[in-house]
A and B are shown apart, each in its own frame.
Chain A
Amino acid sequence: MWISFATAVATITGIALAAGLLLGFISRRLPGHSEDLVEQVNELLPQTQCAQCGYPGCRPYAAAIVDDGAAINLCPPGGDETVRRLAALLDREPLPVAGSLSPASANNVAVIDESLCIGCSWCREACPVDAITGAHHFMHTVIASECTGCELCVARCPVDCIGMAAAR
């Protein structure tokens, strides 16, 4: 009886082990043509999904860099550091960050004029990095250390109470 029990356990364990090893082997060894490079570029981007580069998010931008030869200096949240790393990875010339905003804006943060805030929470939903805090119907504020200065919240505010200021 114990022998048949042991065989049953060993069989199930063996099947599971074989399946696991096979899957691990396949996912390691399968060649993934240009996909891997897109994945590597995507890793280097800051994942703020702020769309300041003109693409819908970080991964589409990574795909555009690899496949369409898009410029590598369009990412203001990543700053010069990201451009340097991308340049090293892709063997291209490092360029100063040239996003849709002025060069200095990479150091800006959003500031909510709290006396005007109506607590609509639209800015909180627009923020790609969760740098805006506040409950619905209550005053909202910006966590300056988290803000990347992407200005996505500015346009969303219905009472125009968000401005940009130099980071302290």
Chain B
Amino acid sequence: MTDLILILVATVLVNNFLLVRFLGLCPFLGVSRNLEAAFGMSLATAFVLTLSSAVSYLLHEYLLVPLDLEYLRTISFILVIAASVQFTEIMVRRLSPLLHEVLGIYIPLIATNCAVLGVALLNVQEAKGFAQSVFFGFGASAGFALVLVMFAAVREKLISADIPLPFRGTAIALVTAGIMSLAFMGFSGMARP
């Protein structure tokens, strides 16, 4: 139990996928313009990440390893991720058409979110168990959500700030991301990855 909580803390804060491992930066910059879209994107990503890390663990453990096909894991994980993204899209469209209108174009983008594939591959590389894999995926998405929502909130405030001309737009966003990353470095050493 303690090690599961440790995994959560480690992935959310210490080894945050966005700010420490620098995975999944495209949605980080693309969907952080307003808070509402950031919330929705975090939820959808959390769902996809947890689902795909569980499925890809099972796939690797009970299909690829027995058949001696570990070298196929990247392509089969991509298949799993694409399928779970499609599954999420169907669920969101049926359950909340409003969220689907807000997120519509972003949901397929989760498939290209490198953090999703990164989590699946790291799970296998570090030879975790099933529960650890699911918690690792969930922690990664929780960390992703935390940072994405914080960053979107900062960017919403930045719109009304008086920023020097050369820094406007993406430049100040990247500076902000860098400062947030520095702040997250403060967590390193709190727990082992």
Tell me, in angstroms, the Cα distance from A32 to B100 when the chains sit together.
Answer: 14
Give the nearest-CB partner of B77 in chain A. Answer: A15
CB distance from B72 to the nearest CB of A (A): 6
Which A7-34 residues have a C-beta within 8 angstroms of B?
7-8, 11-12, 15-16, 19-20, 22-23, 26-27, 30, 32
B183 CB–A CB distance under 8 Å: no
Contacts of A160 in B (CB 8 A): none
Contact partners of A27 in chain B: CB under 8 A: 90
Taking CB atoms, residues of chain B closer than 8 Å to A145 are none
Q: How far in angstroms is the closest Cβ of chain B from A28?
A: 10
Mask for B76-101, Cβ within 8 A of A = 1, else 0?
10011011001100110010010000
Look across to chain B and name the residue whose beta carbon is closest to the beta carbon of A23.
B86
> How far apart sit A20 and B87, CA to CA, in the bound complex (Å)?
10
B191 at the binding interface (Cβ < 8 Å):
no
Query: Among the listed B67, B69, B75, B83, which residue makes an inter-chain contact with A19, where contact means beta carbons less than 8 Å apart?
Result: B83
Contact (Cβ within 8 A) B69 A11: yes
Given A11-B67, A26-B87, the answer on whether A19 and B72 have CB atoms closer than 8 Å is: no
Which residues from chain B contact A125 at a C-beta distance below 8 Å?
A: none
Complex partner residue of B80 from A4, A15, A32, CB under 8 angstroms:
A15
Q: Which residues of B contact A7 (CB under 8 A)?
A: 67, 69
What residues of B have a CB within 8 angstroms of the CB of A19 in the complex?
A: 79-80, 82-83
Judge whether B64 and A23 touch: CB under 8 Å.
no
Closest partner residue, chain B, to A4 (CB atom): B68
Closest to B75 in A: A12
- Interface of A toward B, CB cutoff 8 Å: 4, 7-8, 11-12, 15-16, 19-20, 22-23, 26-27, 30, 32, 35
Given contacts A22-B87, A35-B94, 15 further A-B contacts (CB under 8 A): A7-B69, A8-B69, A11-B64, A11-B69, A12-B72, A12-B75, A12-B76, A15-B79, A15-B80, A19-B79, A19-B80, A20-B83, A23-B83, A23-B90, A26-B87
6 closest A-B pairs (Cβ-Cβ)?
A19-B83, A32-B94, A27-B90, A15-B79, A23-B86, A30-B94
Give 19 CB contacts A-B under 8 Å: A8-B69, A11-B63, A11-B67, A12-B75, A15-B59, A15-B63, A15-B79, A16-B79, A19-B80, A19-B82, A19-B83, A20-B83, A23-B83, A23-B86, A23-B87, A26-B90, A27-B90, A30-B91, A30-B94
